[in-house]
Amino acid sequence: MNIQISKEAAKWYKKELDIDEDTSYVRFFVRYGGIGGNVPGFSLGVSNEKPEDLHTSIEVEGVTFFVETKDEWYFEDKDLKISYSRKKQEPTMKYITN
């Protein structure tokens, strides 16, 4: 799996999560419930924390966006693509078969 994130989306996360140089990590993790997920009954959560067991990562706008090894199952051999919707004024996520 790979993570793709636009600069606009990265800037949005930096602002919304109050990311500075000391906390420049964003974790995408699996959570129970929610809507719009890749696996029915689960969705993707977001937190501002350092990696423990890094599986996949990308650095954009000085922030490392990552997924831990324990959450890799959720992606089922798909890439995570995050862009920014100007209409919604927030990031949008897509799961793309790799």
pTM of the model: 0.91
Q: Can you tell me the distance from the alpha carbon of 96 to that of 38, in angstroms, rounded to the nearest whole number?
A: 10
Q: Which pLDDT tens digit goes with each residue over 33-60?
A: 876 678 878 899 999 999 999 999 999 9
Q: What is the reported pLDDT for 56?
A: 96
> Reduced to 3 states, what is the DSSP secondary structure of residue 55?
strand
Residues contacting 92, CB < 8 A, separation 6+: 82, 83, 84, 85
Which residues constitute the domain of residue 52? 3-97
Domain count, the chain: 1
| 26, containing H or E segment | strand 25-32
Q: What is the reported pLDDT for 76?
A: 83
**Integer CA distances (angstroms), 39 to 32, 42, 59, 75, in order:** 10, 6, 26, 8
Strand partners, 64: 25, 59
Q: What is the reported pLDDT for 48?
A: 92
The CATH number that applies at residue 17 is 2.60.300.12
For the cut 80, the answer to whether the pLDDT of residue 72 exceeds it is yes
Q: How confident is the model at residue 87 (pLDDT cuts 50, 70, 90)?
A: very high
